[in-house]
Structure 1
């Protein structure tokens, strides 16, 4: 009977405190404080703990299946798990969102499985290289928007994503990324960051946040206190940021503080060590060595810094707890208990659950938290505050009345009109063109002006990239002969030389995550043809050979713009900040087509660097400074440094 009265209470609270879905706005107020408290007080401890767990069902193995497959349809097994553990939310991945109608049906099924309090249904839809939606608008990504310095572009990107997620039944986005990418060797952030300047990262991130919130999508700033100045990917190891507190306050923490003041809904933690804030050590379960506690598990970071010093009283969610920075060094149950003790509200991906056989992983985490509360290791008052934050956000963003927002067929019809529509595609291409940055254009090499019958050679690491380039070239230069060559893990040889000899124009894409050229006495050693160096060696060899043969050559940096330092001798260099090409009948990002249009004079680039580019041959020097970019028409530097 208690459950009946509780659900009746929810209905009463919704009727009295939540704006009707037809009239509510993104600024819908919290219900009166006592109402949420009343709901929390009506819940059992088991239900409260469930609200604080957010697993994924990325893959699922039914009894009749030989292996786990991407979960695209709701089933009774998962519904049972949601109900059994009173789950407060789930996170979706690309494996779960393979089509528009399919995704609406899945999210609808997930919500219907939650018989009491509706779920947070979350996703990482950052735009750019981190996108999950198969049929959604990918957008050029944060660093491309950083290159445009456009507040309008940042807001529009968030708003487009927000419209599409809302139409699909997804109510939380783990975005924007507020990491300040000031480490060129960062293997995991890179173009996911807006800039190396904290002011620009903050300004653009807040605009993206507002665009999401306008569609009632809960926005999440990540990865607190900052993952930008790291050289280790926390998916695989435990990074460390060594700076003192003054530097952290000035750089890493600045965007988060600004976002807090602007009304960010959630903050996601970073599995990164910050010894200036907390140098407490633990014994690693991996090798028994002493390791410093990462921010996710640190009370000094999560409670003292984030809650008390920065004044954040929204929802704190961990980054995925199955990442090796956590999973290799701390036990599954121990990590979840430590995170909650530290002050987080939601444990994201606390245990791998891919079948009923592996359900015990979630059960063990669930029981560990219950035990920690019952034994007094985690105060019940802290649990109540966390659940109150969670429910307050669900009310604020209209999630508590999710199940009353129309029929499934109406939802599908609306989603099909919204997700990946022509208007959104047009906007993303405009943003991409405005972000393209011309770094060199000696001798007015650009734009290319091929005549009828001229041969254009496209060189890029992977087929999807050459396809994206060649399809765009063929669209704008219908009379040209276009040839493609993919060079991933290959060495420059006579066959490639012949292709260059036969070409009139060469466009080469460079895709380098982290620079590793061989430099001897300040000169890049072009004699090195080690297959492990293909990412820099091959495009350099193509550049040097093509220019020696007096061919028109342009280098397009496809990912982190820092790799442009490998091509100082090139006459034409542009950065596009996005490497995804053409697959399954569609462009996965607009960046490569936008870059091709610039090279062939069909678009006028406006981008200026959102980061400094350090020299490869002169360590300690800057080759291209933040704010640098050329006007392709007159060859003069563009004047565009701050937020526009």
Structure 2
């Protein structure tokens, strides 16, 4: 039974959203081997300034309905400019004047339809957005590949957790809340389209490109959480894009570098990979991004044809069978999954013939336009079909409010992107995800040393200086901090071992090589062996601030007395781990993937 809590955040979520999220939560729990977990209810209300609730299905209706503003803008465009409206080109605020002038040329000369931003900072990007919009006679659709929020792509902005961490959370309304925050930040920066959520089901631990970008290995968990994220964005005016159709979770090749070949067919797709796409389509997702993969059982008409360029996949499967009438967007056309086998111009023509509406990140806009014009003359695709898709893109611009375009206000951007509300959201997400896999002999919560001079040893593996986690532990009890950096020398390891031998109990924090989770920790065999020896010889509590799959890189990890997985090294996660160690919070997370026979999907105390 769904309860309504007076004065809590759940009152701010439309009732139909709660029903959807609750429904998917129930379905997900049916497949789990774990007991249902109590939902955490937040008491702090979320009020997004100047925000109007929009319902996702209204977007699909808008994209496919006649519109006076769309018609009036369309009549100003030449046939070539209608082709260009189907193109999104990249902009790099960090790359200086050359990139800026290149983008301005594409806007003024060809009237491209949109921009995807990478790198840069909030003020730089906002200034460029205003300049690009002022130069364009048709308002530009501004997008970003921001799976964990705008901080994933720009400096000086909030970075929310990536999907693997979110997959550990048992309260999907937290993920809805994150979606609303990301929608607010997109609007503040004058953006309209997010290439998220990732709905790939990561059932291949060796996947080099999805991995931590997936909510997990269970199709109903992935669906429930991506639905919450999508609704949070779309109900607050930002177009969501489910990706990577028809499912990129079971590959061992990165499509940025080559073309993955998938040998299974429809029966497997229907029972697994297509599941979240079907359900998000039913719930009104505005966009779907098609992956660069080769599925010979679905289309073998051309050797090495990626799904992006395949009419059986895009038109027959996605549009007709799944009945998707939203925006169909290619993955970046500069990726090797396309360019290795198909030249510029040819690939864009094939993508449009396949049924895509938007071409993202082209090798060459002029080459593509020329090739598409030739394809129209040859009857491969009709001008009427180009016109229909152009109107669809213009309708998307209407839905996000570009018919009432206003420049991005520059004052207070930094402050507006770092609200207390956003920090509170990150804290709740981190505390909701933190996962305890071992607590032998109830070693946790840890008792503080009884003697004032007695200190707890805290070793940061993969770090060369004090970490945020060590600082947070030091605020609670006296500690002695140690570090084991990558590429350590034997001499340094011997000195470290000698010092740690004075302690019977050690807290080990493991970090990846960057703020993003990693597929490989980058530690040498000797460094990993040192960690394993400590686990064998002492009472050890391990906290992993990285991809859960990296637990596999230590042979004795199953022997730890205490084992906590944080999934990322975000400050909010490191603080949550410190709180958990001293009993200030309880563990709420469950492992969203199977790592090995010791650590399986759904595990978590």
Superposition TM-score tier, normalisation by shorter sequence = 0.7 to 0.9
Spell out, residue by residue over 1:135-170, the C-alpha distance to the aligned partner (whole angstroms, 9 max, x if none). 222122212221112221110111111111110111
How far, CA to CA, are the matches of 2:149 and 2:590 in structure 1? 18
**Shift, 1:33, TM fit:** 1.0
Match of 1:563 among 531, 543, 550: 550
Map 1:129-144 → 2, pairs under 5 A: 131-144=152-165
Aligned pair 1:265/2:286, yes or no?
A: yes
**Shift, 1:23, TM fit:** 9.1
Match of 1:395 among 375, 388, 398: 398
Aligned pair 1:602/2:584, yes or no?
A: yes
Aligned pair 1:91/2:73, yes or no?
A: no
Whether the 8 Å contact between 2:207 and 2:251 is mirrored in structure 1 is yes
Matching residue of 1:33: 66
Spell out, residue by residue over 1:495-514, the C-alpha distance to the aligned partner (whole angstroms, 9 max, x if none). 33124224552313164845
SS of 1:412's equivalent in the other structure is coil
How far, CA to CA, are the matches of 1:77 and 1:476 in structure 2? 53
Whether the 8 Å contact between 1:73 and 1:105 is mirrored in structure 2 is no
Spell out, residue by residue over 1:77-110, the C-alpha distance to the aligned partner (whole angstroms, 9 max, x if none). 532331111010011012x3x2x33332222222
Whether the 8 Å contact between 2:158 and 2:418 is mirrored in structure 1 is yes
Give unpaired runs (5+ residues) of structure 2: 1-48
Whether the 8 Å contact between 2:314 and 2:356 is mirrored in structure 1 is yes
Match of 2:595 among 613, 621, 625: 613
Whether the 8 Å contact between 1:139 and 1:432 is mirrored in structure 2 is no
Matching residue of 1:437: 435
Matching residue of 1:526: none
Match of 2:446 among 445, 448, 454: 448
Whether the 8 Å contact between 2:463 and 2:511 is mirrored in structure 1 is no
Aligned pair 1:104/2:132, yes or no?
A: no
How far, CA to CA, are the matches of 2:96 and 2:510 in structure 1? 35
SS of 1:246's equivalent in the other structure is helix
How far, CA to CA, are the matches of 1:130 and 1:76 in structure 2? 25
Spell out, residue by residue over 1:496-546, the C-alpha distance to the aligned partner (whole angstroms, 9 max, x if none). 31242245523131648457xxxxxxxxxxxxxxxxx96373564233322
How far, CA to CA, are the matches of 2:297 and 2:100 in structure 1? 47
Matching residue of 1:13: none
SS of 1:178's equivalent in the other structure is coil
How far, CA to CA, are the matches of 2:368 and 2:131 in structure 1? 25
Cα–Cα, structure 1 residues 499 and 401, in superposed 2: closer, same or farther, change >3 Å? Answer: farther
Aligned pair 1:543/2:531, yes or no?
A: yes
How far, CA to CA, are the matches of 1:609 and 1:602 in structure 2? 21
Whether the 8 Å contact between 2:202 and 2:250 is mirrored in structure 1 is yes
Match of 1:82 among 93, 103, 107: 107
**Shift, 1:22, TM fit:** 7.5
How far, CA to CA, are the matches of 1:24 and 1:442 in structure 2? 50
Cα–Cα, structure 1 residues 379 and 101, in superposed 2: closer, same or farther, change >3 Å? Answer: same
Whether the 8 Å contact between 1:128 and 1:142 is mirrored in structure 2 is no
**Shift, 1:481, TM fit:** 2.9
How far, CA to CA, are the matches of 1:555 and 1:211 in structure 2? 34
Spell out, residue by residue over 1:181-236, the C-alpha distance to the aligned partner (whole angstroms, 9 max, x if none). 11111111112111211111111111111111132111111111111111111111
Map 1:114-193 → 2, pairs under 5 A: 114-115=136-137, 117-127=138-148, 131-193=152-214
Cα–Cα, structure 1 residues 421 and 191, in superposed 2: closer, same or farther, change >3 Å? Answer: same
Matching residue of 2:351: 339
Query: Which moved further from structure 2: 321-330 or 303-312?
Result: 321-330
Map 1:239-278 → 2, pairs under 5 A: 239-278=260-299
Cα–Cα, structure 1 residues 375 and 490, in superposed 2: closer, same or farther, change >3 Å? Answer: farther
Matching residue of 1:300: 312
Whether the 8 Å contact between 2:535 and 2:559 is mirrored in structure 1 is no
How far, CA to CA, are the matches of 2:97 and 2:176 in structure 1? 31
**Shift, 1:272, TM fit:** 1.3
Match of 2:540 among 546, 553, 559: 553
Whether the 8 Å contact between 1:191 and 1:560 is mirrored in structure 2 is yes
- How many residues are treated as equivalent by the alignment? 539
How far, CA to CA, are the matches of 2:257 and 2:468 in structure 1? 31
**Shift, 1:475, TM fit:** 3.5
How far, CA to CA, are the matches of 1:458 and 1:128 in structure 2? 31
Whether the 8 Å contact between 1:510 and 1:558 is mirrored in structure 2 is yes
Cα–Cα, structure 1 residues 108 and 42, in superposed 2: closer, same or farther, change >3 Å? Answer: closer
TM-score by length of 1: 0.78
**Shift, 1:128, TM fit:** 7.7
Whether the 8 Å contact between 1:194 and 1:610 is mirrored in structure 2 is yes
**Shift, 1:591, TM fit:** 2.6
**Shift, 1:604, TM fit:** 1.8
SS of 2:252's equivalent in the other structure is coil
**Shift, 1:336, TM fit:** 1.6
SS of 1:385's equivalent in the other structure is helix
Aligned pair 1:379/2:382, yes or no?
A: yes
Matching residue of 2:21: none
Cα–Cα, structure 1 residues 572 and 240, in superposed 2: closer, same or farther, change >3 Å? Answer: farther
Spell out, residue by residue over 1:348-403, the C-alpha distance to the aligned partner (whole angstroms, 9 max, x if none). 1112xxxxxxxxx3322222222222332222122122112211111112123223
Match of 2:135 among 109, 113, 118: 113
SS of 1:316's equivalent in the other structure is strand
**Shift, 1:173, TM fit:** 0.7
Whether the 8 Å contact between 2:444 and 2:581 is mirrored in structure 1 is yes
Spell out, residue by residue over 1:422-445, the C-alpha distance to the aligned partner (whole angstroms, 9 max, x if none). 221121111111101111121223
Aligned pair 1:54/2:55, yes or no?
A: no
Whether the 8 Å contact between 1:179 and 1:252 is mirrored in structure 2 is yes
How far, CA to CA, are the matches of 1:490 and 1:249 in structure 2? 52
Matching residue of 2:573: 591
SS of 1:180's equivalent in the other structure is coil
Whether the 8 Å contact between 2:542 and 2:564 is mirrored in structure 1 is yes
Matching residue of 1:70: 95
Whether the 8 Å contact between 1:470 and 1:484 is mirrored in structure 2 is no
Cα–Cα, structure 1 residues 469 and 244, in superposed 2: closer, same or farther, change >3 Å? Answer: same
